[in-house]
Structure 1
């Protein structure tokens, strides 16, 4: 598979006549049309005075327009996709922090981002959909007549910043992660290689496109292999199976909470599952309980490939492998792109089976956070990036994450991995989903708490679940407080939020 160092190069690989991008109930766009569209859009941005390394915030609904806007902007400028559901204060923070030169919004949009952009003096570009020309296609117009002076036009170069995202910032102010053309292309190539994509593959993207998982694994990786992607408006459990029937995907990628929701509706959709066999299912962004992996594989008769990614690595770092290669459920697989090692607090690389911090280095890894020397000093050691995750690497190179260093619960000096407690509680027959987290405690420092979602039609009391857990966990690991909820508290991308959960729940 050819390795690329810029987006225009990556998008040049698909066959002219093959379908590249589509959406439910919309016309497909071929690779030839996609390339023509991106060339025209970059020229249009240049005519507005926007060129290489100029930052363009994109505030659009999930779907094909968001996908095409991301790719077109990133081919000749710097793409900064933002969550459309942010409030004015959040847009104020992000647009200011990004130093955005322009913002793209759909014509007629009433997003709070528009008034914030006006206040900050950020150029506003209206997107006019042209779906009759194919899913996601559009034209752009600039509000007002004032055009900026173009510094550098044309196609992006390998070291230019393609994509700028913020870390989730659960423990501190979100950090700016600039990802170069080389970073995102390396990651897309790593994923395409891991999953053995070919032009025959068809993806169903249900991931949000303001997040690294959807942008790189959902969109760029398959396109880099000449494969097709259908861009849905985002995850919708009620529509997932009808989309599956219409699009006939060979794979999809999602976060565990989405997979679990799909599973609850799978029994009523067995005919669709059998008529549309998947080559594999992919999961990333947080850990997948073993029980759910087994149920998904049995239900879809397809392997679940769990992988491990983060924004700073342009998504993928490690992945389990497709059959017939050895898979080790419970691990996040082997290094799949970057080099990986385990490091102690003093920067020493540890041996096989030793527990420490997972560190990475490679072409897909950011060179550093923007304007944040303190974070760079803390997160980079001897050329390695510290992921903040605790884990081990076995003799075969398989990586097991034992916890997020900041999520580890410290109960009077006893260190507890919330993931370990999750796995045990998930074995209770009445439990559908669970998230274990730290509750502040005046004597012990922290105590163990858990939020539990019960299976439909099942019931359980707090004491039942605690008794069940006590048979399998040491006493100090058994949650002292269990809260029942209808759904788990999640961030905007569907990831579970352990850090700060106690405060959110008023504990």
Structure 2
């Protein structure tokens, strides 16, 4: 960290576009009266007013002894105040936003891990973050807003706005501007420090990919404690000189009213938000027509191709899917704007950092070969904070290994096939759950789908899936499995496909596959129901014998009970002589419960009986057939 001391105006004139302070200053100098931030029920915050707010916040922090490099935790609801807090605090210190929905134990972990020098909270609000900060002796800034003030303008500790500025050191390009923790979907959250240069580079990359200009207006519905909202929606707009409406959280009910009120030219969201928007789009078709946009962006999770097509049909604009992660200050790749090709199912071309595919040894792989996605560039973090073991695993010769599996095609488009830590090892067969998601989502009744691993006594892991159905389009689990069997290799077909009302997600909307089995345990449980026919009883008793179980019900899944391909062979070998028909082993994969298998076997027995009768009839003369039927030939 440099020890030089600069005033804001001096820094803006001497620095390159590698600090948020410099971006704010140049924006103010270009047009101080132009709108910067907007919000429902608030007047516009201009670029000049945003610059004045930076002066005020900087003075308040310095007066309290906060300096560059000090971490200031911020626990505020989504909206313009949180946006302005990021843009101003990060110019003087390190901004560390935390989800207000965290529990007391969460705040205790994060505030301790951050070693926060201060916490900014809504004035007077009794919340877990306050209790933890007080217990830990962390100073608290009380943030007060005035509904009549411009969007994002606030006061700290009830101190009035001050015009003067105490000259001090401001954050330079290589100072840490933002600290976020990884989502922890597959491991303990790691702390990711991102410099001013990292953030500004990524924001410019996004603005370039989307061709943002001062005439654009973004609609920010993403949470601002997440890299997608902070950089993908907010800072990308600011660096382009565009205005941005900061919503008080996402609401599908309010989304279309915001289109009418603020007339954005684009918005970015995660697929779950897009799904909620599409669910209401038809009844708001007139609103969409009144407020044409230039593009829709999606990031932070895989966008199902059917949903992409629905969005493009509803809004009549290109949907740009991109690929990002916290460690890259958000964006790594992006599909290009028309007229260049967009490839559904791909997260696009490198859009900032270099992108390559590596094998386990760190060797680069050719186009079309699947391996681990790796990146390097000025937007990429230099490493996790205070975690040398994680850094050793994550970095290879200056390249960050993302943990994502994928391949590049011959045109340089990246296709993600899954998280390496989420790959399901089903008896040695490696299964990418995203492939299963994609197949299930093509079923006309399925609105959302997620495949995940469950423990299995002999296979190690088995494949299950959960789906949310479209309203009014019911479908049975057996029909969904038959649909998947026709489109996937047998080893990739989920043993169970359960229908649920909603799929559990993390605070940023990401599916947490590693936690799905625990989350859905009640839905996966099967209540015992006694066999209802002789054939069902025979099948259930045979499964009990082969698996060594005391009681198997008519709806119990053979594989969920611990069955595998070898034991399936044993079950069918015992059933063949008992039923006196040929039974292929694959039937148990297709019909894994006594109830559905019995129906199929009874159908086959009936076919065998009819075939035998037909064969016997073929041997008879017309006169003999006539006598049997009691209908004389005329």
Corresponding residue of 2:130: 114
Superposed, 1:442-457 pairs within 5 Å as 442-457=457-472
**1:227: how far off?**
0.3
CA distance in 1, matches of 2:514, 2:265: 35
Paired residue secondary structure (2:514): coil
CA distance in 1, matches of 2:399, 2:381: 11
CA distance in 1, matches of 2:231, 2:282: 31
CA distance in 2, matches of 1:328, 1:35: 41
Mapped pair 1:329 → 2:344: yes
Mapped pair 1:9 → 2:22: yes
CA distance in 1, matches of 2:177, 2:158: 22
Contact 2:96 2:179 in 1 (8 A): yes
Superposed, 1:354-365 pairs within 5 Å as 354-365=369-380
**1:172: how far off?**
2.1
1:210 to 225, 242, 250: 225
Corresponding residue of 1:128: 144
**1:109: how far off?**
1.0
Paired residue secondary structure (1:238): helix
Q: Deviations over 1:330-355 (max 9, x none)?
A: 11000100011111100111112111
CA distance in 1, matches of 2:44, 2:494: 50
Corresponding residue of 1:22: 38
Contact 1:219 1:229 in 2 (8 A): yes
Q: Deviations over 1:100-131 (max 9, x none)?
A: 00000011211111110011111010001134
CA distance in 2, matches of 1:152, 1:184: 25
Q: Deviations over 1:271-327 (max 9, x none)?
A: 000011110000000101111111110111010000000000000000001111111
CA distance in 2, matches of 1:265, 1:124: 41
**1:373: how far off?**
0.5
Corresponding residue of 2:234: 219
Corresponding residue of 1:405: 420
CA distance in 2, matches of 1:142, 1:63: 20
Superposed, 1:191-340 pairs within 5 Å as 191-340=206-355
Corresponding residue of 1:440: 455
Q: Deviations over 1:185-243 (max 9, x none)?
A: 11001000100000110111110000000000110001101101001111111111111
CA distance in 2, matches of 1:208, 1:362: 26
Corresponding residue of 1:140: 156
CA distance in 2, matches of 1:177, 1:262: 31
RMSD: 1.5
1:84 to 84, 100, 103: 100
More helix by share: 2
Corresponding residue of 1:148: none
Paired residue secondary structure (1:359): strand
Contact 2:142 2:156 in 1 (8 A): yes
1:98 to 109, 114, 134: 114
Moved beyond 6 Å, runs of 4+: none
CA distance in 1, matches of 2:470, 2:279: 9
The count of corresponding residues between Structure 1 and Structure 2 is 499
Q: Where does structure 2 lack aligned partners over 5 or more consecutive residues?
A: 1-14, 160-165, 525-634
Q: Deviations over 1:429-456 (max 9, x none)?
A: 1111111111111111111111110101
**1:496: how far off?**
1.3
2:47 to 28, 31, 34: 31
**1:364: how far off?**
0.4
Q: Deviations over 1:127-159 (max 9, x none)?
A: 01134230111010189xxxxxxx994421111
CA distance in 2, matches of 1:133, 1:358: 46
Contact 1:435 1:452 in 2 (8 A): yes
Question: CA distance change for structure 1 residues 297 and 21 in 2, over 3 Å: closer, same or farther?
Answer: same
CA distance in 2, matches of 1:120, 1:153: 28
Contact 2:332 2:351 in 1 (8 A): yes
2:58 to 37, 42, 51: 42
CA distance in 2, matches of 1:248, 1:46: 38
CA distance in 2, matches of 1:395, 1:204: 35
CA distance in 2, matches of 1:131, 1:474: 58
Rg larger in structure: 2
**1:3: how far off?**
6.6
Contact 1:208 1:214 in 2 (8 A): yes
More strand by share: 1
Structure with greater contact order relative to length (CA < 8 Å, sep ≥ 6): 1
**1:505: how far off?**
2.3
Mapped pair 1:473 → 2:488: yes
CA distance in 1, matches of 2:17, 2:127: 36
CA distance in 1, matches of 2:257, 2:316: 19
**1:461: how far off?**
1.3
Corresponding residue of 1:146: none
Paired residue secondary structure (1:499): helix
CA distance in 2, matches of 1:208, 1:315: 14
**1:48: how far off?**
0.7
Corresponding residue of 2:552: none
Question: CA distance change for structure 1 residues 293 and 172 in 2, over 3 Å: closer, same or farther?
Answer: same
CA distance in 2, matches of 1:131, 1:378: 49
Paired residue secondary structure (1:400): strand
